[in-house]
Amino acid sequence: MGLFNLFKSNQSKIAELDVLAAKDKKLFMSQYKTARVPVLLKGAAENWPLMSKWDKDYIIAHMGNYVCKVIKDSRPAYSKEQTTLKFYFEKLKDVSTLTLDPFNSKKPPRFFKDVTCPNPYFIINDIQRFFFFHSVKDAGTLPHIHGNAFNILQNGTKEWVFYDASETHNPNGYQVLKASNKKYNVGSHAKDWFKKEVPKLPQKLDKVYRCTQEAGDIVFIPEGYCHAVLNKSEVMGIVFETR
């Protein structure tokens, strides 16, 4: 029984995201990236080194000095508090973290050593920004937009909701996002938004999508597509924003 059973009357109006199992670059590029359509790339990272290597001890040993944010709500980009990944994993509880930095292809971060690249979806020269993340159960991220992104889940399960909020392609979606950001600002939590707002989205928008992401899956989010996340368990992974 998932969260979305809380609003069965609207569930049929929230479409399941396409699932692409075949690692077909031409199909991905033509039907999803170029067309600006989000997609769940099922098991796309299941054989990447990070899947077998990453745990808290490994991150501390190899990336422990990396500076990260300390996040206590579901607006991680606005967090001002910082520490190291070593201190975060060893000393802090019931909070989340992410790094949010430009990507230097000539000097990639240590995290990148455990990522298979090139792959059918992006190459190193495509990457503009990245972030490693770790988060606790029932935390998440409130609705937001950014450039094209690949969210690789190394551990756990996440629920997603998507809609087009590009000011150019879908002005109505852009206004819905603006209203959400005003109502759920710094200090707010994704679990409240999922419970109160998701059932209302089909009344406001022509197309709303959902998916469940599991370890080894990659979610592709097109530029300007609003997305929100609720963790169904402790989660860890990495995101690459690309051209």
Residue 1: is its pLDDT beyond 50?
A: no
Asked whether the bond before 108 is cis by omega within 30 degrees of 0, the reply is: no
Locate the domains of the chain by residue range: 3-242
Helix residue spans in the chain (DSSP H):
8-11, 25-28, 49-53, 56-63, 85-91, 171-183, 190-196, 201-204
Q: What is the pLDDT of residues 64-105, one digit of tens each?
A: 999 999 999 999 999 999 999 999 999 999 999 999 899 999
pLDDT reported for residue 5: 52
Q: What is the pLDDT of residues 117-129, one digit of tens each?
A: 999 999 999 999 9
Task: Enter the pTM of the model.
Answer: 0.94
pLDDT reported for residue 33: 97
Are 20 and 88 in contact by the 8 Å Cβ rule? The answer is no
CATH number for the domain running over 3-242? 2.60.120.650
CA distance 100 to 68: 8
Q: What is the pLDDT of residues 210-242, one digit of tens each?
A: 999 999 999 999 999 999 999 999 999 999 999
Identify which of 9, 45, 46 has the alpha carbon closest to the alpha carbon of residue 239.
Answer: 45
Q: Give residue 8's pLDDT band: very low, low, confident or very high (50, 70, 90).
A: very low
